[in-house]
């Protein structure tokens, strides 16, 4: 795969589009706001979590990251196992 220098194309867009000029100046053009990431936990092993980054309307410099495992996936099972280790003991009835 050949990756070309994006600068010439960006310069053309900056000249043509006020919106792009603003996005480019803020460096928000290439910001990834969703996807999947893999983690390796030392006890339970590999986890794949989907994530979404939400920019807060009242403070655009703050982001809220939400991660979750796909329903029924090995990652969801592993996360539930981890969560069970920190649950308080059940109270007697």
Counted domains in the chain:
1
The answer to whether position 14 is within a domain reads no
Its domain, for residue 46, covers: 32-83
pTM metric for this prediction: 0.57
Q: What is the mean pLDDT of residues 19-27?
A: 78
The answer to whether position 7 is within a domain reads no
Average pLDDT, the chain: 84
The answer to whether position 27 is within a domain reads no
The answer to whether position 89 is within a domain reads no
Per-residue model confidence as pLDDT tens digits over 71-85: 999 999 999 999 988
Provide the pLDDT for residue 1: 45
Q: What is the mean pLDDT of residues 63-75?
A: 94
Q: What is d(CA 84, CA 88) in angstroms, rounded to the nearest whole number?
A: 9
The answer to whether position 62 is within a domain reads yes
46 exposure class (CB count in 10 Å sphere: 0-12, 13-18, 19+):
exposed
Please indicate whether residue 76 or residue 54 has the higher confidence score (pLDDT).
Answer: 76
The answer to whether position 49 is within a domain reads yes
Residue 69: is its pLDDT beyond 50?
yes
The answer to whether position 66 is within a domain reads yes
The answer to whether position 50 is within a domain reads yes
Provide the pLDDT for residue 68: 95
């Amino acid at each position: 795969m050949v990756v070309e220098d994006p600068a010439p194309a960006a310069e053309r867009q900056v000249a043509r589009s006020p919106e792009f000029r603003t996005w480019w100046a803020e460096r928000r053009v290439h910001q990834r706001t969703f996807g999947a990431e893999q983690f390796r936990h030392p006890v339970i092993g590999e986890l794949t979590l989907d994530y979404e980054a939400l920019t807060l309307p009242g403070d655009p410099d703050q982001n809220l990251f939400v991660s979750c495992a796909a329903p029924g996936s090995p990652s969801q099972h592993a996360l539930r196992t981890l969560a069970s280790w920190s649950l308080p003991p059940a109270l007697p009835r």
